[in-house]
Amino acid sequence: MTENIKNIAFIGLGKMGKGMAANILKAGFNLTVYNRTRSKTEPLSEQGADVADTPRQAATYADVVITSLYDDESVLDVVLGDNGILSGLKKSGVHVSTSTISPDASRKIYELHREHGSHYVAAPVLGRPDAAAAGQLATFLSGDPDAIELSKKVCESYTKKIYDLGGEDPGKANSVKLSLNYVLASTIELFGQLYSFGEKSGIDPEFMGEMFDLIFSGPIPKAYAKKIRERDFDGEGFALEGGYKDIELILKASYNTRSPLSYANIIRDKLMTALAYGMDQKDWSSIYEISRMNANLK
């Protein structure tokens, strides 16, 4: 594995990939690009990138191959086959996958590269296409330890912050990315439920937005995240018993306005279970202990 990487192949020039590839080119690397729809390579070709006809051709002279693709199947399809990455990548080469794929797929691709003699790094990114174009993504790395260090040299070109999660499990970075996407999806759904509830309760959406800013820009979410992380549910706080009372009020208001607040049912059931375990006076964030029990964690 060479420390003096210069030749980069980039496969997948979708909304995210095109901005990432452009930043790699601006950083001074020799760039070869491949995309199934060839017309998407033209802007980068005009900026000086070479264009390959197949993933194999793109990988042949590359020190690092970066893929930005849709899902498990599309990444595996590009890796395998007569014209896949593995058929062209040299033994010392590194494959960096920026795609949001399953941890199991990353582990499988890691093993495929290990058997081939090359190296694999899971490197999913967090951010929207405008952040990719501006070089402001967050990147999470796991996989081959030496390859992680090498890949950072390229990832820095499109990344604001790199998080090195170590090499013991190539799927770890993918688990982090899925966790963050779950937070975003849950928040989108939560906002949607509450804007609907607010509208049916006669509350102006602009005011609801101000209240969301008040909660999410303040110290409260961070304080609860710390309590849960440290499993510190004693002392001052909002007693679980009071939390159960408030969730019942929320459910009643939801019923009266005919505006479903579905998360409240999940929270009520966990609060009730916690009460059954005698956790009445612990902070209501202690329902985390019920989540741990459900996941068979001690």
Quick one: how far is CA 183 from the chain centroid? 10
Residue 155: count other Cβ atoms within 10 Å of its Cβ.
23
Name which of 233, 246, 249 is nearest 289 in CA terms.
233
Residue type, 35: N
Residues with catalytic roles: 177
Distance CA 281, CA 255 (A): 28
Residue 80: count other Cβ atoms within 10 Å of its Cβ.
15
CA distances from 251 to 44, 153, 218, 268 (A): 54, 52, 25, 9
Distance CA 12, CA 40 (A): 9
Instruction: State the chain's maximal CA–CA distance in angstroms.
Output: 68
Distance CA 54, CA 11 (A): 9
Distance CA 85, CA 88 (A): 5
Name which of 82, 131, 76 is nearest 99 in CA terms.
76
Q: What is the DSSP string of 224-269?
A: HHHHHHHT---SSS-BHHHHHHHHHHHHHHHHHHT---THHHHHHH
Residue 111: count other Cβ atoms within 10 Å of its Cβ.
12
